[in-house]
Structure 1
């Protein structure tokens, strides 16, 4: 049957548009083809296309796609010519009678052109073996169905063979990791736990189910979902607490933080505990109990006087906590700095500064600062202070690599510091507005200038701290001296005028004590003449009665909604009282005189300071007592107390109070007993610090304690021949070296301290560094320092017994310069100070 042609006014020249395309089953064409049919005229009936006979068994050959103006081509006027036209009228091979538009081959489009073959993602295995064109139809392709062969696919739907190989490789890796973890369980768990796992394997349990049961099941001690709940760090070289520290009189081993971080070696006061008590310890911790097994020597926690959530601080590292502050989540630092527009990152920098360093070196009241930053008010917040705080936050933020490279222009901390110093120089030169008695706003402008001076003083002290991080405390001290000049301009250390508002009064008094405490610490440890002889006239309020004065800091640990105070107010008041004593010692030692040499304290003077310091320790509030301290800044408070006491008593270790002093209440301990006790307590606290918190997070004063303990340990090793104590001393030395190395990742001055301490070690101790601390001693000692260190920090000389030695001759810079260029095997790697 021939395809019908619609009637036309010119039958002899049938146009392409009048060609009727047959549709299956005699139906009218639909879609785009329907538009090719001419509209029926009045009184006419549209002719339906005739039915096309089914093709014969032999497949029709591909229709000719005509060459231009050749046989079988489509003419330029659109008419069908040549063989195509003859075939459409029934001439020629009946098999080819059908028009190209009516071919049954699905690879042809309605336009007469070959349609692209649909891409097959992956062929079946049978087609791949016989190299056939597989259409990928699932579950059985057309060719396998036609040939009657089995059809299997190695890939998932819409997955290529390469993707399937990657997926299978990942499954194998996961399976291998599962087996390795089970092997580790069998190898490391106690016998009864390993037997339980082995029995499950023998019963044919799935490996993944066994591992899941180990991690989350209650057969193996009900391991917690939050692993850091019972997490503690392990000492290098020797995992237990040294025996010389574990004696009944050590009050710090009776503390909550030690009992919550048990060691393998039992304490004298608690040699063994029944399993029921250990189980109750885990039950007391609730859902946040950690990975300790029932067989661990875990002493029972005594009844805690506070609320249950407070135990969390004793069971988790401090760096797992987060600051809780409504203002911290809404501030936009980008409005205060041109260095970055990433508010999320800068909020993290602010957070890390407040978490790690604000509680120890406090330079401003946190709540006033954050509230004014959020509201865009320049009262107690300024661009200088924001950029300075963000710079310190860069040192604290462990997500920033190479943060200790202060000289690197690509370093974000470098950029914040450059911007802060630029703004500081501009603001510091701003003069006080002239007095205008006739202008009612004159006094207000003067008060605003004084407020900006307060913030500038806080910024200057922070800039001094940053330069100390970078090994340039000589330069940084100039900022403190400029801050002193600005403080005198506004009479900061005198009693506040009554006409000043409460907020400004609070910030003034707080800043005055901040400056006094800062200069007390710096002058004492650098052997400089104190800038202030007396504390500010305005006394500090009671932190319990006026907590808002100190801006309490709250933290929250994972898996709990309870917020815990860091006791920032109590800590600030305790530091101020302790540092006032240190300032008095410095005034006597290096006060104004005609000589640049430090003066020796008399026994009566030492006794007076000793009695003041022991009274300070007895009067500490309960959260800061030796029994309760846990957070890093609380532990450092006691470390600082004992290192001050060690330096105070060392010159009179061989004296006796009774033979040299009259008319004064004598301590129960002799100077030697008090000195040795402080040595033991100091090392104990530092070890507890590491057990609970580790040394990886920035701590701006920790390097001083680590360097001091390292120096004391080196002296003990050189004078001790007892082999039982020697191994414990080597463990302490490695622990201090590891801590200084960890701190050197955050600030540059620790690299110089590390070089000095490693150079003091014996060759046999240096060999242990490679095994337990991953330190190459030759690189540390003889490798180049990227930038020189210009520091007056005394190289951990705790007491000047020889008054003929000037403190500056023992500075870190001079000690580093005196290092010998001889290799590590030489008899002496450190030259004597010049």
Structure 2
């Protein structure tokens, strides 16, 4: 039967015959049918688009509108959304519904003594509302490990703060072995050097009404503990010991958080060199001493993860090319890594933080990330920019990693800050891989695990941006930004600057939504700036990048006292390779933090005697990068450590 195709129907074309239409009325009727079907399809697609906009959350809806305005066709957009696995699964998570839909009274009144409800208590309380359960720390004696203070209470408080806030996502030692040596006074897995480094790092989490983030000021605890750690480092760095490796990496991390990673990275490198000398990364034979085996595993993998994350954010070659060979589990497939327990208010029993699961998940993730860093900035950079095909290959690895995560870490179950940051890091990496290929699509074969006709780089990047922004909002809604979380800096930076960039191309409700995201990230940076110095620097740059009207609105929620003086200090004390907004592209040297704060040097200030610092270089905690690792005489905590740029 003729299908009405012009100038020849499909049957006649296949038969190579002359097509003779029965009558003009039949042709017209078939044409009307085709037009009607086309209109039905078009109408159905548009109805589906309207349904998507109605039913998706605000962030998803805005993402759809942005892609429409960017020129993506309605058909392609709807097809992608229908065939894509839930692009933002966190909107159907327990945590999301507890925050935005559960109308029951939050807090202690929501539970009573119902044991079923008690197990969900972690979804109703912010993480900082709980307390670390580690009774052994109550017997720690300050005088046994540090000369900075003789206050047992202060040292115990700092140790708890470190294990509670920093350790869960930034582990560099085995907690149980460390605490056991700490309370017994043994030096097997603990040392004065390591304790002082940990106490210095804990100062980021411990705030008093009179404390500040001025790490260069001798009156600050962080200065005093770091000076003592540096004195002990000078004495012990020539002796290979696993606690020295751990301490060096922690010292470097403290310097990173205070905007001096140009110096901090040297400590990390020296720790890695010492670990290589001791064979820690190549230790693949299980020891009879299971505690020793667990300590080696925690140290090797902790160093590997730390360098991978830092080199990615700084866009530098990896320090460790291959993952450690040391296994992460024993013969019975039990993780070598320790567990953390916390107690929520009025809870009948402690709650497991699932640290061992998080740590293994992050180790596996950083293996993939490290290979990407090596390809883009290490030995693979001579191959040229990463190709779209390579990006798709890395994406497949990441999807396989995500699918195999344990049930407790699946998107619908996430709750703790460490859980949320696992996925934040994933989305940052996806943005990095695909944002550079804007407009590129790739056909997908039938064997491809994702059932759709193509993969759009723009869609992958947009979905990752949307999910990352949603997670930042979710993090704030449950946990707030008031407690110290040094890792959140990179995510607040990326989401905040990305939303700020889009303010200039949006209007109406969409612009209001983007501005609220900028303000939220700025507030998060300002809250974190009360804990560590680099957050204050990033906050200042973000605020200075806003229009005068938007900046005035921000001032209602976040500001800095004595701002011009504080900026002058930034120009003096920041020595950082950190790349601002680094997840969005291969940022250039001009986006490195110490380059961006150079403009603050020209501020006209009459008072150079600020916060106890003289008008020259003042008292500094750290040395020139060239001086690190060279023997020096021991110095007291009040010694004058200077940066020589």
Tell me whether 1:747 sits opposite 2:529 in the alignment.
Answer: no
Q: Is contact 1:758–1:777 with CA below 8 Å preserved after alignment?
A: no
Q: Secondary structure at the match of 1:605?
A: helix
- Name the CA shift for 1:338/1:755 in 2 (closer, same or farther; >3 Å): same
Match of 2:546 among 747, 761, 764: 761
Q: CA deviation at 1:594?
A: 8.7
1:673 matched residue in structure 2? 459
Match of 1:285 among 101, 107, 110: 110
Q: What does residue range 268-667 of structure 1 map to in structure 2 within 5 Å?
A: 278=103, 285-287=110-112, 307-399=116-208, 401-430=210-239, 453-496=241-284, 501-541=289-329, 545-547=333-335, 549-592=336-379, 599-658=384-443
Q: Whose radius of gyration is greater, 1 or 2?
A: 1
- Name the CA shift for 1:648/1:662 in 2 (closer, same or farther; >3 Å): farther
Match of 1:687 among 463, 473, 482: 473
- Name the CA shift for 1:606/1:499 in 2 (closer, same or farther; >3 Å): closer
Equivalent pairs counted in the alignment come to: 525
Q: Is contact 2:161–2:205 with CA below 8 Å preserved after alignment?
A: yes
Q: Is contact 1:754–1:780 with CA below 8 Å preserved after alignment?
A: no
Structure 1 unaligned segments of length 5 or more: list them: 1-239, 264-276, 290-305, 431-449, 824-834
Q: Is contact 1:770–1:776 with CA below 8 Å preserved after alignment?
A: no
1:255 matched residue in structure 2? 93
> CA offsets per residue over residues 663-720 of structure 1, 9 Å max, x none?
86667453222211111110111111101111111111111110111111112112x2
In 1, Cα distance between the equivalents of 2:106 and 2:237? 57
In 2, Cα distance between the equivalents of 1:746 and 1:283? 29
Q: Secondary structure at the match of 1:741?
A: helix
In 2, Cα distance between the equivalents of 1:324 and 1:593? 46
Q: CA deviation at 1:775?
A: 5.4
Q: Secondary structure at the match of 2:146?
A: coil
In 1, Cα distance between the equivalents of 2:573 and 2:264? 15
> CA offsets per residue over residues 28-70 of structure 1, 9 Å max, x none?
xxxxxxxxxxxxxxxxxxxxxxxxxxxxxxxxxxxxxxxxxxx
Q: CA deviation at 1:593?
A: 7.0
1:110 matched residue in structure 2? none
Q: CA deviation at 1:721?
A: 2.8
In 1, Cα distance between the equivalents of 2:571 and 2:479? 30
Q: CA deviation at 1:592?
A: 3.0
Relative contact order (C-alpha < 8 Å, sep 6+): which is higher?
2
Tell me whether 1:708 sits opposite 2:533 in the alignment.
Answer: no
In 1, Cα distance between the equivalents of 2:202 and 2:108? 38
> CA offsets per residue over residues 276-307 of structure 1, 9 Å max, x none?
x9569999932399xxxxxxxxxxxxxxxx95
Q: Is contact 1:512–1:536 with CA below 8 Å preserved after alignment?
A: yes
2:81 matched residue in structure 1? none
In 2, Cα distance between the equivalents of 1:347 and 1:574? 30
Larger CA deviation: 528-537 vs 641-650: 528-537
- Name the CA shift for 1:577/1:497 in 2 (closer, same or farther; >3 Å): closer
In 1, Cα distance between the equivalents of 2:245 and 2:100? 45
Q: Is contact 1:398–1:697 with CA below 8 Å preserved after alignment?
A: no
- Name the CA shift for 1:314/1:535 in 2 (closer, same or farther; >3 Å): same
Q: What does residue range 735-814 of structure 1 map to in structure 2 within 5 Å?
A: 735-774=520-559, 779=564, 784-785=569-570, 787-800=572-585, 807-814=588-595
Q: Secondary structure at the match of 2:379?
A: coil
Q: Is contact 1:755–1:780 with CA below 8 Å preserved after alignment?
A: no
Q: CA deviation at 1:458?
A: 0.6
In 1, Cα distance between the equivalents of 2:106 and 2:568? 49
In 2, Cα distance between the equivalents of 1:481 and 1:503? 26
Q: Is contact 1:339–1:416 with CA below 8 Å preserved after alignment?
A: yes
> CA offsets per residue over residues 731-786 of structure 1, 9 Å max, x none?
00100111101111111111111121112111221110122335579749966538
In 1, Cα distance between the equivalents of 2:446 and 2:96? 40
In 2, Cα distance between the equivalents of 1:571 and 1:682? 19
Q: CA deviation at 1:320?
A: 1.1
Q: Is contact 2:374–2:380 with CA below 8 Å preserved after alignment?
A: no
In 2, Cα distance between the equivalents of 1:755 and 1:354? 30
Q: Is contact 2:252–2:261 with CA below 8 Å preserved after alignment?
A: yes
Q: What does residue range 105-116 of structure 1 map to in structure 2 within 5 Å?
A: none
Q: CA deviation at 1:251?
A: 1.6
Q: Secondary structure at the match of 1:555?
A: strand
Q: Is contact 2:294–2:337 with CA below 8 Å preserved after alignment?
A: no
- Name the CA shift for 1:279/1:605 in 2 (closer, same or farther; >3 Å): closer
Q: CA deviation at 1:652?
A: 1.4
In 2, Cα distance between the equivalents of 1:359 and 1:340? 26
Structure 2 unaligned segments of length 5 or more: list them: 1-56, 65-85, 605-645
In 1, Cα distance between the equivalents of 2:475 and 2:273? 38
Q: CA deviation at 1:417?
A: 0.8
In 1, Cα distance between the equivalents of 2:390 and 2:211? 47
Query: What's the TM-score once normalised by structure 2's chain length?
Result: 0.76
> CA offsets per residue over residues 128-180 of structure 1, 9 Å max, x none?
xxxxxxxxxxxxxxxxxxxxxxxxxxxxxxxxxxxxxxxxxxxxxxxxxxxxx
Tell me whether 1:816 sits opposite 2:641 in the alignment.
Answer: no
In 1, Cα distance between the equivalents of 2:314 and 2:274? 23
In 2, Cα distance between the equivalents of 1:813 and 1:455? 32
In 1, Cα distance between the equivalents of 2:594 and 2:183? 42
- Name the CA shift for 1:653/1:326 in 2 (closer, same or farther; >3 Å): same
> CA offsets per residue over residues 72-117 of structure 1, 9 Å max, x none?
xxxxxxxxxxxxxxxxxxxxxxxxxxxxxxxxxxxxxxxxxxxxxx
In 2, Cα distance between the equivalents of 1:416 and 1:335? 14
Q: Secondary structure at the match of 1:377?
A: coil
Q: Is contact 1:353–1:393 with CA below 8 Å preserved after alignment?
A: yes
In 2, Cα distance between the equivalents of 1:530 and 1:495? 20
Query: What's the TM-score once normalised by structure 1's chain length?
Result: 0.59
- Name the CA shift for 1:526/1:249 in 2 (closer, same or farther; >3 Å): closer
> CA offsets per residue over residues 402-439 of structure 1, 9 Å max, x none?
24111111112211111111111111123xxxxxxxxx
In 2, Cα distance between the equivalents of 1:799 and 1:280? 40
Bigger helix share: 2
- Name the CA shift for 1:540/1:666 in 2 (closer, same or farther; >3 Å): same
